[in-house]
Structure 1
Amino acid sequence: MEKEKKIQERTIVNRKKILDSARQLFNEKGYYHTNTKEIAKEADVATGSFYNYFPDKLSIFQEIMIMHLERNYADLCELTKKLNEHPHRAKATIVNYVHTGMDHAYENRVMFQDFDSILQANPQLGEIIGVFYNKIMTEIYDFCKDSPHVIKRTANPLVMSQMAYFIIQGTSELMSKLLEDVDKREYEEQLAQIVYWYLFGS
């Protein structure tokens, strides 16, 4: 029993080390310029035993992507909760949400720069994204439909929820591609102002 527990603990530790090392290398070199041998070395895991934890590089990327999407969904749920509970702080809450989200996007920019081509070559990833997209859109839809603080700009909450999503997602993707020396905070402030106006402004 004790031996099994130690094996489980070692598995958890080694998987985390591999994921952390892969994320680091993906963000330094990009997905296609990183191989499993490098990841194993960075994680201080024997190359031979590496495959006991992950069958290939794609499975690591997939797990990192799921963690990324889970975080995005959790952050969104926290946002809608705060906006409902403290509407008088809505502007500051949205500003903080945008700043935090964009910081995370900048940190992982290199890792996801090849995302479209990875997705094209591996359609099963699209199914995973679809599940999270539906969860995210449902959360925004319910918020736009049910929150007493949101201005109903249309009788159709689906239109509002999709517009809110497109504003944030589309602008965020553009901002994540800005040059390093550009003052990104000013862009983020403007995005937060637009989202606030769309949901709460007159």
Structure 2
Amino acid sequence: MEKDKKIQERTIVNRKKILDSAQQLFNTKGYYNTNTKEIAKLAGVSTGSFYNYFPDKLSIFQEIMIIFLNRSYLDLCELAKKLDQQPQIAKATILRFVQNGMDHAYEDVVMFQDFDSIVMANPELNDIQGEFYDKILNEIYTFCNESPYVKQRTENPLVMSRMAYFLVQGTSAFVAKLPDDTDKSEYQEQLVEIVYWYLFGS
């Protein structure tokens, strides 16, 4: 029993080391320029041991992607909850959400530059992304449909939810591609003004 517990603990630790090392390399060299041997070396495991945890490089990317998407979904759920509980500080709450999202995007910007081409070559990743997209849209839909504070700009809450999502995602993608030396704070503040007006403004 004790031996099995130690093996399980070592498995968890080594998997995390491999995921962290892969993410670090994907964000410095890019996904396509990184190989499993490099990941194993940085993680401190042998190349042979590497394959006990992951069958290939793509499976690592998939797990990192799921972690990223799940974090985005949970952040959005938390945002909707706070907007309902504290509507008086909605602008500040939306700003923090946007800033956190941007920070996560900048951390993974190199890795996710390869994202579209990886998904095109591996449709199963597109299916996973689609499942999270549906969950996120459903959360926004519920918020737009049920919150007493949201300005109903259309009789169709689905349109409201998609527009709110596209406003944040589309503008965030634009800002994320700005040069590194650009002061992005004003862009973030403008995005918050737009989203706030769309959801709550008169």
| TM-score, length-scaled by structure 1 | 0.99
Partner residue, 1:198: 198
Q: Following superposition, which runs of at least 4 residues in structure 1 exceed 4 angstroms of deviation? A: none
Q: Distance in 1 between matches of 2:26 and 2:185?
A: 25
Q: Distance in 1 between matches of 2:43 and 2:169?
A: 33
Q: Distance in 1 between matches of 2:19 and 2:110?
A: 16
Partner residue, 1:182: 182
Q: Distance in 1 between matches of 2:72 and 2:53?
A: 25
Q: Distance in 1 between matches of 2:46 and 2:185?
A: 42
Partner residue, 1:29: 29
Count matched residues.
202
Gaps of 5+ in 2: none
Q: Distance in 1 between matches of 2:66 and 2:199?
A: 28
Is 1:150 the counterpart of 2:184? The answer is no
Q: What amino acid is aligned across from residue 112 of structure 2 in structure 1?
A: F
Q: Distance in 2 between matches of 1:188 and 1:57?
A: 34
Gaps of 5+ in 1: none
Shift of 1:186: 1.2
1:51 match: secondary structure: helix
Aligned pairs (5 A) from 1:1-202: 1-202=1-202
Q: Deviations over 1:73-131 (max 9, x none)?
A: 00000000000000001010001100111011011000100111101110110110111
Q: Distance in 1 between matches of 2:10 and 2:17?
A: 10
Shift of 1:184: 1.0
2:148 match: secondary structure: coil
| TM-score, length-scaled by structure 2 | 0.99
User: How well do the aligned residues superpose, as a CA RMSD in angstroms?
Assistant: 0.5
Q: Distance in 2 between matches of 1:193 and 1:44?
A: 47
Q: What amino acid is aligned across from residue 114 of structure 1 in structure 2?
A: D
